[in-house]
Structure formats: C-alpha cells, structure tokens
Amino acid sequence: MKNYRDSDYAANKYTSGIVYRSVTDTYELTLEDYLRENPGATEADFAELKALSDEIYLEQDRADYRQTHKDVSLHGLDEPAACCVPSLEEVLIDRPEREKEREHLREQAHQALLTLTEVQRRRYLLHRIDGLTTREIAEKEGISHVAVVYSLEWAEKKIEKFLAAAKK
C-alpha cells in the first residue's frame, strides 16, 4: 500500500483500490473485495466507482486548498486597525459624535419626507420601508402601475432636491 499520510486524493489516486479513511484507520477496497461483495458487479462497475471516488477526492482536495489559502495568519495582524476590538478612544470619544451624526441624518430624513405629499409619502414608505413592488402598491391602492412609478419618481426627485439644499 502507498503512503497514506498524503492527502485523501493522493492516497486514493495512486492505489489500485478505493481508499476510505476513518478517524482511526485507513481501508482499501480492492477489485477482488468489490467483486466478492457484489456478485452481479463487473470490473467496469468498479472502474466507474474508482473514477467517481477520485473525482470526489480531487474536488475535496481543491476545496481544502482554496479554504486554507483564504486563511490569514495572526502574525499579519500587527496593525491595531486590523483587530476586532474597538479602542477605548473610539468607544468613549467617537461614539457620541457618531450618535449626533445619526440623529442629524434621522432628522434630515424626516424633514425630507415632510416635503412629499401624503400620497407620495405613503407610496414611498410602502416601497422603501415595507419592500412592496410598484405593482403591489398599485394593486393595493386600486390604481395603475404607471401612476405609482411616476409618484415614486417625483418623490425621489423632491428628496434629492431637499438633501442637495441641506448640504449647502
């Protein structure tokens, strides 16, 4: 038998039988064993099974290779930015600024929604927040699909115009 310390693919490929590994042992199913255990089988059946096992082991070997080459060594994480834990400075100092920025953005979004008509606002929220399609909104309101599309286009133009003016 060959050196079973190689990969499963190599161990299977370079033997005349089919190699199976368990946690504790390695087994090889030879042609003779296969024919003895399967009286109606032929050598062609065994060859087909062997080719299939080689293919499966090769794909498994390639997947393992791709995965191990995605892994990053911990030694490459010397930069503090690469760590997962935020610094105390970020937690204690930057967090209030972020909260202020989020609150400002929420207020801007609220003000932008107030520039819309009631119908535009309702359709915009149904589309953007509730995730309804324009056809679903049209069906729900009993109007044409095109009317909903135009309404949403106008709503988005109004919001963009408001946000552009707010930046100045």
Q: Can you give the pLDDT at residue 4?
A: 44
Picking from 10, 42, 37, 39, the residue whose alpha carbon sits closest to that of residue 26 is: 10
**CA torsion, points 77, 81, 84, 90, in degrees to nearest 10?**
150
Token pair in block for residue 58: 């090769």
Which tokens in the block code for residue 66?
């791709």
* C-alpha span between 65 and 54 (Å, rounded): 16
* β-bridge partners, 20: 27
pLDDT of residue 135: 93
Q: What is the DSSP string of 1-56?
A: ---TTS-HHHHHHTSSSEEEE-SS-EEEE-HHHHHHH-TT--HHHHHHHHHHHHHH
End of a domain among 68, 92, 119? 68
**Residue 139 confidence (pLDDT):** 94
**Residue labelled with tokens 């255990």:** 37
Q: Flag whether 107 is in a domain.
A: yes
pLDDT at 89: 64
Q: In the structure encoding, which two tokens stand for residue 81, read together?
A: 């930015």
Task: Kindly give the parts of the chain with pLDDT less than 70.
Answer: 1-7, 9-10, 23, 65-94
pTM of the shown model: 0.43
Please tell me the predicted confidence (pLDDT) of residue 15: 79
Question: The CATH number of the domain where 134 resides is what?
Answer: 1.10.10.10
Residues 6+ apart with CB under 8 A from 31: 16, 17, 43, 46
Domain range spanning residue 27? 8-68
163 falls within a domain: yes
End residue of a domain, out of 24, 45, 68: 68
